[in-house]
Amino acid sequence: MRLILLAMLMALPAAVCSAASVGVAYIGQSGQAERTLAGFNERMREIAPEMTIETRAGLADEDALARTVESMSLRHDGLILVRSNASQWLAANRTTVPTFIAGGNHPPTLGSVLNMDAPEGNVTGVTYFLDHATVMEIFVALAPQALTWELFTQAGHPAAPIDSEGVAEACVAVFISCASTELSAARDLAPAIRASKAEAFLIGNQAPLYDDPALFAEALEAAGDRPIFSLNQKPVEMGALASMSASDHKLGRMLAEQVVAVLRDGQPIAMTPIGRDAEPVLVINPATMTRLGLHAPRQLLAISESVGG
């Protein structure tokens, strides 16, 4: 009888004998990280409730991240490193366990993964990166009268150059003129808009530029009848015209499926492509559109969501 029981135990999948665990870490505070991890935790409860998840948020800096990665690697089967600064850190630092990125911009540019279709090394995950050409085509369709644009990004943010370069190339493709300006803080946004001669504005996906509602209200006032677009939904909720962005919640759920496939089911990292949102969300503020006297093409209205009125 003992031999039979031993044989049955040996035949059980590894996940049944010892559930895998994963450590989650990121620097600072981030609403995007929280939304992504909400989707991740939701999906994990559905497909792998036995797996243990440890989260360390609000780390002070890269040194704290490095220490956390080192300690978590000793007690977990895999890691999830969130935000663009973590992806950038991975470009210069190797991990000893399977590692997943999330809540960050274009992985090849940040250096964490060079081949998004067949990731090399032991890093894969998800990215909110969208093709800027597609985004700008839609924005131009919403404000066809605007032939000169200005993009605002946060100085020093690892994702800022990705937005600047991508938007610059996209503007050439859609035959509009675009300038790009880096700002140090949200308080600089309204003065920059007021001084600009551009006919439309785009705010990069860097939350410090729009997290303060009062300062963003000043930016809207400075813009007057010139539309403001964004690569994140939050400014649209506060009065910007439109945004197009990946669904953080959806990406979080995709991340959970990757983690389970690799850590529990043994799928190789190289066979786990970087996940992207194939159906990003176009969000329009109807009240702002009415105030600006603009009219969205019906085909765009059909695929958009409305906020703010």
- Whichever domain contains 187, its CATH number is 3.40.50.2300
In a domain, 87, yes or no: yes
In a domain, 8, yes or no: no
Identify the CA nearest to 272 among candidates 16, 101, 60: 101
In a domain, 63, yes or no: yes
Q: Are 114 and 100 in contact (CB under 8 A)?
A: no
Specify whether 108 is located in the same domain as 224. no
The whole domain housing 179 covers 132-245+281-306
- Per the listing, tokens 């194939």 go with 278
pLDDT of residue 135: 96
Give residue 261's Cα distance to chain centre. 22
Specify whether 299 is located in the same domain as 191. yes
Specify whether 123 is located in the same domain as 257. yes
Identify the CA nearest to 55 among candidates 30, 32, 74, 80: 80
pTM here is 0.87
Specify whether 255 is located in the same domain as 199. no
Specify whether 114 is located in the same domain as 145. no
Amino acid occupying residue 33: A
Specify whether 89 is located in the same domain as 154. no
Specify whether 261 is located in the same domain as 150. no
* Tens of each residue's pLDDT in the chain, 309 residues: 444 444 444 444 443 446 899 999 999 999 899 999 999 999 999 999 999 999 999 999 999 999 999 999 999 999 999 999 999 999 999 999 999 999 999 999 999 999 999 999 999 999 999 999 999 999 999 999 999 999 999 999 999 999 999 999 999 999 999 999 999 999 999 999 999 999 999 999 998 999 999 999 999 999 999 999 999 999 999 999 999 999 999 999 999 999 999 999 999 999 999 999 999 999 999 999 999 999 999 999 998 999 986
In a domain, 227, yes or no: yes
In a domain, 6, yes or no: no
Specify whether 117 is located in the same domain as 148. no
In a domain, 226, yes or no: yes
Sign of CA dihedral 166, 168, 172, 178: positive
- Number of domains, the chain: 2
